[in-house]
Structure 1
Amino acid sequence: MIKFSVHKLLIHLFIGVFSLPAFAQFQTDSFIEKLLKKHPERFSQILKEPDKYKIQILYTRIDRNQKNEPHFKTYGYHVNNADYFYPASTVKLAAVVLAFEKLNKLGIDKNTTMLTGAARPEQTGVNSDTTSENGLPSVAHYVRKILLASDNDAFNRLYEFIGQEEFNEMLHQKGYLNTRITHRLESPIGSENNRYTNPVKFEKDGKVVYEQPARYSAKTYFSPTPVLQGKGFLNDGRLVQKPFDFTEKNFFPLEEQHKLIKAIYFPDQVPVEQRFNLTKDDYTFIYRYMSQFPVETSFPANYTDDYYDGYVKFLIFGATKTRLPRHIRLFNKSGDAYGYILDNAYVADFEKGIEFMLTAVIYANEDEIINDNKYDYETVGLPFMANLGKTIFEYEINRKHTARPDLERFEVQYDK
């Protein structure tokens, strides 16, 4: 009996260890905290109250050998998948890769016309897009609008194409076990209606090449426990003095956001089962529009006039409205909502031969009232993001690298 129990225990231990996510490996020492403390002029107030600001940081140092093979070492600061933050627009990057993967599975080119129907009263259809080159909607053009200007409607259309259940199940199969995608963005419809997604069809040369009926998610993906935050919230202009309920909201933990960046920029360095089925052209397309500035964009044409270089570039640049250097590229997806501000990036300086990955979130809501549009992005959130990016960038410049990286793979041709 004793031998059997020990054997059984060892089996359970073995299963427990190897069922842990492979990506949940980062240094839990005080490296990042020590680095930030070297710059009190940038971080003294933040470091005094890290719990108040709900800061989480992941930084991956990349060293390449003489064969240009990358080796990674990741450091974390206050990273905890159990600590909820609202992921805002960072969920859109997952929609991009899943939409491309689904198209590849169906054998449909990403530039094929995508027409969205409406099967329920709360749904809206799309049959044209005046911002695209040919005046028609497509997954490719939705991705452009997501990566260049974080367009909410573009995300919603990809959400409808993928489907709520497929969205979550595909991510879970690839190891993103804590991620929950439950709703469209900036949409007034309730949680139940978000389980319904629109009918979609693809047309080429006037012929339907694929038709997908309206769908309903048989499963729900809400938090299993209540998620309540803040001291109060505004509801129809009236202050409700109790925490805001995020239980049915999206969640995309920092560790899994960081993992997604690695899977996109270093697909050969992640386990096969965690890779996305993307073509070489898909990767180039993503690299182009994640790093391209609005002024370099042909379509949507209005982006050149409506958006400044740093519009969605939080790390290092802090969404600055001045012209940004062209040799430093932030391949990123940022977001801000409900007082949370986030960025998730692969950073490359093509002149200095520097590269690293950095993902961070901070809560910039001093009064802890949600939905009042009085968030502290300009005074707390963006300065923190800029200072964090600069601090890591300066560290990279000064540290010894084993070999200068060949970053040719990420040097893409921009629209103009």
Structure 2
Amino acid sequence: MKKLFYTLVMVFLTFISCQDNNRDENLLALALASEKPAIKRVMDSVDQYEVQIRYTQINRTGDSIHFVDYDFQVDDDYYFYPASTVKFPVAVMALERLNETDTLTRETRYYVEGDSIETTFAKDISQIFAVSDNLANNRLVEFLGQDAINKGLEEKGLSPVRIAHRLGYHTDELTTKPLIIYLNDSTTTPTEPSLNSAPFPLKLNAIHKGIGYYEDDEQINEPFNFSLKNYYPVSTQHKLLKRVIFPEKFSNNERFNLTKNQHDFLLNAMHTLPRKVGYDPDNYYDGYCKFFMYGDTKKTIPDHIKIYNKVGFAYGTLTDCAYIKDEKNNVDFLITATILVNKDGIFNDNVYEYDAVGIPFLAELGREIHRLEIERKN
């Protein structure tokens, strides 16, 4: 009888051990070992593509949440151009500033001095996530100022980071433009401009890339210099995403000062698809700004899958930072990944393998992690 009892105990402990090992299994390594062509093509020449990935497994016990992070080549000292992913912290910081300004709300109407576009903060944030609108982002940069953005992020433990410039066009202007705020239908008031620090040259690995670039329609046969560009590495992107999705996991000084209403608005904006806010679905299909799982298809994303994310693509670099939640299969996870697809090594020639290599890789990676998460759950 004692022998039977001992045997049953050992079987139970072995079962629990297997469950624990499965719970913390490195699904990222399994996904990257996939024989799917879109993944294998990249992994067979991984150094060429400068891939960096951080995946977070989310484990729950009752009301408790436990994160397990897995990395592939994540390196803060190895530079990649973050492109439009920097719009995510800008949008969050803008909401925080609104909460700390008694005279402004999300629905306050305004325009930038010298510009004719009249908008609201809510509309700008919606456009940033739905279609990655550059002008919407730049208006919020004028509202905040680069120094305030960088300082606010670093105070919350979100570093390294350096937001140095606006997007969509080049300017060395360090002074923000005033916003013309509507107090009512006929009365306006300007905001005070801010003078921001000049960006210092970044000293990072791979800060000079490729073998040439185009400038004013002329090819310059030397590496492209990114040292004065924005800097927002995978680790910082992922930390920001965690704070936004799971603020309760962080101390008060690490959280953003958002009301529940503002936080709900932000989460809704992050997952809302372009067609839901009036964009033409033929041009702005569901996967337009959702690279993981759906970037390589124009199919409709099922209602039970919500992707809270921000993508970026420029200079041959594709990046996505996402929290993916499948309500039907009761799985969720966080993943941030970047890949460079510039086979000829020439920048600004608009010859990049976005559709042939980069987006298929990110889409397949998202699907593989999602599939493995469902298996783990079951």
Structures share fold, TM-score greater than 0.5: yes
Q: Give, in whole Å, the separation in 2 of the partners of 1:111 and 1:268.
A: 27
Which amino acid is the alignment partner of residue 83 of structure 2? A
How far apart are the structure 2 equivalents of 1:144 and 1:261?
17
Contact 1:313 1:319 in 2 (8 A): no
Deviations 1:368-396 (A, max 9, x none): 11000000001110110011101100110
One-letter amino acid of the counterpart of residue 216, structure 1: L
Give CA-to-partner distance per residue, 1:45-80, whole Å, 9 cap, x none.
32222221100001111111223x321111010000
The answer (yes or no) to whether the contact 1:147–1:290 under 8 Å persists in 2 is yes
In structure 2, what residue type is equivalent to 1:378? D
Supply the distance in 2 between the matched residues of 1:225 and 1:342 (Cα, whole angstroms). 19
Question: 1:247 is paired with a residue of what secondary structure?
Answer: coil
* Letter of the structure 2 residue corresponding to residue 212 of structure 1: T
What is the aligned partner in structure 2 of residue 346 from structure 1?
323
TM-score by length of 2: 0.88
- 1:378 paired to 2:378: no
Return the match for 2:144 from 162, 166, 182.
162
Contact 1:312 1:319 in 2 (8 A): no
Mean alpha-carbon deviation: is it higher for 156-165 or for 282-291?
282-291
Question: Is 1:91 aligned to 2:86, yes or no?
Answer: yes
Give the equivalent residue in structure 1 for 2:28.
32
**1:90 counterpart letter in structure 2:** T
Deviation at 1:205, TM superposition (A): 2.2
Q: Which moved more, 1:353-362 or 1:103-112?
A: 103-112
The 2-side partners of 1:38 and 1:263 are apart by 31
Is the Cα contact below 8 Å between 2:78 and 2:204 reproduced in 1?
no
Q: After the TM superposition, which residues 125-136 of structure 1 pair with which residues of structure 2 at under 5 Å, given as runs?
A: 125-126=115-116, 128=118
How do 1:82-231 and structure 2 match up within 5 A? 82-107=77-102, 108-117=104-113, 124-126=114-116, 128=118, 137-189=119-171, 191=172, 193=173, 195-206=174-185, 211-218=190-197, 220-224=199-203, 227-231=207-211
Q: Does 1:355 align with 2:332?
A: yes
Matches within 5 A, 1:4-19: none
User: What does residue 72 of structure 1 align with?
Assistant: 67
1:256 and 2:236 equivalent? yes
Aligned AA for 2:179?
Answer: V
Instruction: Give the number of equivalent residue pairs.
Output: 352
In structure 1, what is the equivalent of residue 304 of structure 2?
327
Residue in structure 1 matched with residue 3 of structure 2 by the alignment: none
CA shift, 1:280, in A, is 1.0
Residue identity opposite 1:380 in structure 2: V
Of residues 274, 280, 290 in structure 1, which corresponds to 2:254? Answer: 274
What is the alpha-carbon root mean square deviation over aligned residues?
Answer: 2.0
- d(CA) in 2 for partners of 1:221 and 1:319? 37
The amino acid across from 2:67 in the alignment is F
Give the whole-Å Cα distance in 1 for the aligned partners of 2:355 and 2:116.
35
Matched with 1:13 is none
Query: Shift in Å at residue 178 of structure 1?
Result: 1.4
Contact 2:54 2:337 survives alignment (8 Å): yes
- SS of equivalent to 2:95: helix
The 2-side partners of 1:212 and 1:179 are apart by 26
* Gap runs ≥5 in structure 2: 1-24
For residue 74 of structure 1, give the secondary structure of its aligned residue in structure 2: strand
1:287 paired residue number? 267
Post-superposition CA distance 1:163-213 (Å, at most 9, x none): 111111111111222111000001132x3x1x1110124323247687422
**More displaced 10-residue stretch of structure 1: 268-277 or 140-149:** 268-277
CA–CA distance in structure 1, aligned partners of residues 263 and 189 of structure 2: 24
Q: For residue 137 of structure 2, give the secondary structure of its aligned residue in structure 1.
A: helix
Provide the C-alpha distance between the structure 2 equivalents of 1:210 and 1:153, rounded to a whole number of angstroms. 21
Residue 286 of structure 2 aligns to a residue whose secondary structure is coil
Secondary structure at the counterpart of residue 238 of structure 2: helix
- Counterpart secondary structure, 1:215: coil
CA apart distance, 1:34: 4.1
Q: How does 1:240-255 map to 2 (within 5 A)?
A: 240-255=220-235
Matched-pair contact (CA < 8 Å) for 1:182–1:221: no
2-structure distance, mates of 1:42, 1:127 = 41
Q: Alpha-carbon deviations, 1:333-353, whole Å to 9, x = none?
A: 011000000100000011111
Contact preservation (8 Å) 1:348, 1:355? yes
Moved more, 240-249 or 33-42: 33-42
- Whichever residue aligns with residue 45 of structure 1, its letter is R
Identity rate of aligned residues, in percent? 36
TM-score after normalising by structure 1: 0.80
| Alpha-carbon distance in structure 1 between the residues aligned to 2:312 and 2:46 | 20
Query: Do 2:31 and 2:365's aligned partners in 1 also have CA atoms closer than 8 Å?
Result: no
Q: Counterparts of 1:335 and 1:94 in 2: how far apart (Å)?
A: 13
CA 1:281–1:198: 2 relative to 1, 3 Å: same
Give 1:331 shift: 0.8
Task: Report the 3-state secondary structure (helix = DSSP H, G, I; strand = E; otherwise coil) of the residue aligned with 2:268.
Answer: helix
Q: Return the offset for 1:286.
A: 1.5
- Unaligned ranges ≥5, structure 1: 1-28, 118-123, 129-136, 402-416
For 1:115 and 1:38, locate their aligned partners in 2 and report how far apart those are by CA, in whole Å. 49
Check the 8 A contact 2:241/2:323 in 1, yes or no. yes
- Structure 1 pair 351/302, CA: closer, same or farther in 2 (3 Å)? closer
Task: Give 3-state SS (helix, strand or coil) of 1:399's partner.
Answer: helix
Change (3 A) 1:235 1:116: same
